[in-house]
Amino acid sequence: MLRTTDLAEALRLAERLLSVASWYNSSGCYLDAWARDDDQLRRLTEASSEARVEWYGEGHIGFPASLLLNVTTFAQAGDALGAWADITRCYVLWHDLKWPTVPELGLVEEYKYAELQVACNSHDIHCEEWAAEHTVFIHARPGHDERAAWLAAQVDAQVVGSPEEGW
């Protein structure tokens, strides 16, 4: 929906989009980052000591490692994301949202596929490849691309790029 080198701009857009949503579970927010070496792991855990580390290397002990952090407020998400984005590719995902009913498009309230994501240093939702920009993603039910466009219009934005298959 938005690609920018300015993380604060991406977070401002996310906050405006969250104001359009209604919460299903207000604590449904977490951050995920990848550490690919000891230095990244040390820096990420120093930035957020409460993050949980999951190992994906051979035998589930070596690199890469995923760091997961649950947060309960937008401010916490922004602070942690800002710290992590200086270190590696990462994202924040707000889930357990409800996108509103859009009668003119025949769309009912959506909660199963309603998510909002800011991916730092990446153009894809899984943060698999490094990019110079941060990307804001609206997650919606497959085939409901018009919902993303409608949501974007509510915050004076527009969809950039084509739909991406998610999780």
Condensed to tens digits (0 to 9), the pLDDT of residues 81-95 reads: 999 999 999 999 999
This prediction's pTM: 0.92
Contact 63, 83 (CB under 8 A): no
DSSP state of 105: G
pLDDT of residue 58: 78
Please tell me whether residue 126 adopts helix, strand or coil conformation.
Answer: coil
Q: What is the pLDDT of residues 3-46, one digit of tens each?
A: 999 999 999 999 999 999 988 776 789 999 999 999 999 999 99
pLDDT of residue 163: 77
